[in-house]
């Protein structure tokens, strides 16, 4: 039988790992499975890694990878797989909620399958004592996955699966290491997979806390979007565009505040030179630049955000310059198109030409600003 490498990503799972490792070792020995277990620990505050170091001699086929500067379940799984020696690679949680007793059946099914998934939604499978809220989240996530992606599984949210090494080697360069559901990445980014499922009953966690959170659900939705539409349009650009849209609202709100609350006489500022920007427009513009910078820094480009007072001051200065350039591009495009139609096709110079020219200017300015900010303000 081919060697089996089981990856156990851990973070504050010491109490559970104390119970799980002896069970796994006894199971593999009783079934005469050639195995290794790789515990990938993200420097757990509960000292999971330290406990294992004191017990390492008791588990000769188990080894530990302690990660100091990296965090996250998906990247931990990929780290373990890259280090594994087995022909078959498995993943399960270390919190005792996955039923280790189905592992031999999963391994045997890999002789005719690319991936075998431990599913709670097939025969002999159930959600056990899972709370109603968790069940609702799991069902909703599965439904969304089936809407966005043609996934060959009943349980795309499962974190319990095994695959052939060839699948990992083929997909590793495409996998997004961020996020929570690594199975979704393998299923969504690898074509023509032969998938089998084995039912199991989800068990109640005895120690520690669940890792499910709002950020985990957000990462799941982002992963679905990237796999479905990523080849057509960047999610980062979508975020940038939504941030810019919010800036329009802030800009208009800033002008309202300037004119009605600060009670500044704009008419006297403009006087007869209509080409000069009023104080209200300048105030609204700078306010929107500030909020756009903050949103982009902490959302759009959160993976490479500017940090600290100096970093943010320099970043905001760069963003301001690029925003001014974008404004010039937008206005110049609008002015050019209107003048062009006025000189060459005056019969078509209607109000919609003005709106079209402004729309074209906005598109060009947004694309230019995004490119410059991505490579200048938030350079990798």
* Alpha carbon distance 221, 237 (integer Å): 16
pLDDT per residue as tens digits for the range 167-195: 999 988 888 776 667 888 888 778 889 99
Instruction: Tell how far CA 213 is from the center of its chain.
Output: 13
Whether pLDDT at 140 is above 70: yes
- Cα dihedral 292, 296, 297, 298 sign: positive
CB-CB contact of 377 with 319 (8 Å) = yes
Residue 130: CB atoms within 10 Å: 19
Nearest residue to 103 (alpha-carbon basis) of 35, 40, 193: 35
pLDDT the model gives residue 166: 94
Torsion of CA 360, 364, 370, 376, to 10 degrees: -160
Q: What are phi and psi of 134, to 5 degrees?
A: -65, -40
Structure tokens belonging to residue 103: 């592992």
pLDDT per residue as tens digits for the range 63-117: 999 999 888 888 999 999 999 999 999 999 998 999 999 999 999 999 999 999 9
Tell me, what DSSP letter sits at residue 8?
E
Higher pLDDT, 219 or 127: 127
* Alpha carbon distance 251, 288 (integer Å): 5
Question: Minimum mean pLDDT among 76-80, 215-219, 374-378: which range?
Answer: 215-219
* Alpha carbon distance 261, 254 (integer Å): 10
Whether pLDDT at 234 is above 60: yes
Average pLDDT of the segment spanning 231-239:
71
Whether pLDDT at 126 is above 60: yes
> What mean pLDDT value characterizes the chain?
83
**Residues of 288-323 as b/e, b for ≥16 C-beta within 10 angstroms?**
bbbbbbebbbeebbeeeebeeeeebeebbebbbebb
Structure tokens belonging to residue 281: 């427009």
User: Which runs of E-coded beta strand occur in 16-59?
Assistant: 35-41
**Which domains does the chain show, CATH number per domain?**
4-229 (3.90.550.10), 235-377 (no CATH)
């Amino acid at each position: 039988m081919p060697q089996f490498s089981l990856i156990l990503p851990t973070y504050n799972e010491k109490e559970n790992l104390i119970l799980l490792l002896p069970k796994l070792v006894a199971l593999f020995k009783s079934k005469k499975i050639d195995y290794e277990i790789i515990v990938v620990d993200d420097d757990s505050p509960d000292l999971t890694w330290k406990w294992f170091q004191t017990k390492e001699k008791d588990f000769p086929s188990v080894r530990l990878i302690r990660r100091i500067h990296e965090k996250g379940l998906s990247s931990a799984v990929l780290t373990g797989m890259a280090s594994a020696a087995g022909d078959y690679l498995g993943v399960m949680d270390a919190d005792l909620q996955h039923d280790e007793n189905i592992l031999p059946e999963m391994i045997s099914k890999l002789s005719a399958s690319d991936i075998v998934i431990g599913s709670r939604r097939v025969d002999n499978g159930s959600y056990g004592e899972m709370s109603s809220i968790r069940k609702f989240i799991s069902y909703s996530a599965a439904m969304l996955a089936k809407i966005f992606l043609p996934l060959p599984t009943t349980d795309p949210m499962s974190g319990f699966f095994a695959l052939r090494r060839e699948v990992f080697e083929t997909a590793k360069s495409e996998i997004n290491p961020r996020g929570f559901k690594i199975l979704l990445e393998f299923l969504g980014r690898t074509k023509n997979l032969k998938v089998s499922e084995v039912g199991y009953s989800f068990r109640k966690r005895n120690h520690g806390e669940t890792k499910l959170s709002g950020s985990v659900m957000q990462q799941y939705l982002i992963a679905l979007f990237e796999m479905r539409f990523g080849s057509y349009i960047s999610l980062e650009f979508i975020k940038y565009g939504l941030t810019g849209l919010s800036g329009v609202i802030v800009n208009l709100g800033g002008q309202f505040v300037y004119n009605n609350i600060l009670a500044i006489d704009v008419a006297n500022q403009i006087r007869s030179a209509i080409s000069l920007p009023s104080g209200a427009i300048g105030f609204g513009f700078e306010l929107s630049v500030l909020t756009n910078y903050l949103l982009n820094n902490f959302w759009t480009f959160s993976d490479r955000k500017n940090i600290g007072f100096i970093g943010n001051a320099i970043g905001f200065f760069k963003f301001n310059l690029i925003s001014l350039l974008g404004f010039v591009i937008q206005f110049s495009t609008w002015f050019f198109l209107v003048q062009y139609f006025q000189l060459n096709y005056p019969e078509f110079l209607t109000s919609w030409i003005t709106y079209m020219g402004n729309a074209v200017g906005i598109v060009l300015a947004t694309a230019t600003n995004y490119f410059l900010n991505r490579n200048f303000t938030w350079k990798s």
